[in-house]
Amino acid sequence: MVKAIEFKAGSLTAMTAVLREVDNVRLADALQVMLGGMGEFFGGEPTIIDLSQVKHIPDRVDWPGMQSLLRRYGLQPVALRGAPAHIHDAARKAGLAVLADQVSSINAKALSIETAPETAPDTAEPAQASLPLEPPTTNTMVVERTIRSGQQIYARGADLVLIGGVSHGAEVIADGSIHCYGPLRGRALAGASGNAGTRILTTSFGPELISIAGVYRTFEQGIPQAIAGKAAHALLRSTGGKQTLTLEPLQLD
């Protein structure tokens, strides 16, 4: 029987909104000045509200008001951090998860006394369920030098563009795709957080290992003749519901 619901652990990249005020009128003014009334500026990103820098927190905070204000700019509040215990219940009722906070030492101490429930509140908004779990990979990290043996580069939540090549014994990792202009001789891992649509592209193919979204391949028997030292790319193709790592030559001229 197919289960109607399944639970999986996952991590997500979220925006943190560090507030210095909890008064919605003043927050609205500040956002207006910063973003010029550009609605949907953030494009629906999950957001953690951080109250650790608010000097005075009143007994009552207008959560529905704050949530709708943030949503107006495309920020989707999902959780609260750095808040004193007396407002936790109200925040949970408003559909926000209360996170333990290691960043702010004072609040972390206060929270450690109380064992905050780990489960999400049952009043969770449906919007939370549809949040993307993969971090957005629209950013790019560019490295101009050669990545040498023993060095490791990780492009978190980004594509990785390598201009100097990758030596044997080096490791390059990206949540997005890896583009290598020069010899790719070390280990290359794309889609490190699970994005199966990513690729590894290089002008000179010769890696020790490649991996896309956890599907990896080594080259114990040597690199296939057709692509060794030539322009090639690696990608995942699904055949019969199975993902296979495919290597293909690239025509550059």
DSSP structural state of residue 83: -
**Considering the complex, what minimum distance in angstroms separates the CB of residue 169 from other proteins?**
6
**C-beta closer to other proteins: residue 128 or 146:** 146
**Considering the complex, what minimum distance in angstroms separates the CB of residue 151 from other proteins?**
5
> Closest by alpha carbon to 248, among 236, 237, 226, 232?
232
**Using N-to-C axis directions, what is the helix angle for 24-35 and 63-72, rounded to 10°?**
10
Helix (H) or strand (E) holding 210: strand 209-212
**C-beta closer to other proteins: residue 52 or 167:** 167
User: Rounded to an integer, what distance in angstroms lies between the CA atom of residue 69 and that of residue 188?
Assistant: 42
**C-beta closer to other proteins: residue 52 or 203:** 203
**C-beta closer to other proteins: residue 193 or 204:** 204
CB 18 within 8 A of CB 50: yes
**Which residues lie below 8 Å from residue 38, measured CB to CB, with a gap of 6+?**
73
**Considering the complex, what minimum distance in angstroms separates the CB of residue 167 from other proteins?**
5
End-to-end CA distance of the chain: 54
CB 177 within 8 A of CB 200: yes
**C-beta closer to other proteins: residue 104 or 151:** 151
**Considering the complex, what minimum distance in angstroms separates the CB of residue 168 from other proteins?**
6
DSSP structural state of residue 217: E
**Considering the complex, what minimum distance in angstroms separates the CB of residue 171 from other proteins?**
12
Which residues in this chain contact other proteins in the complex, by CB under 8 A?
Answer: 145-151, 164-165, 167-170, 182-183
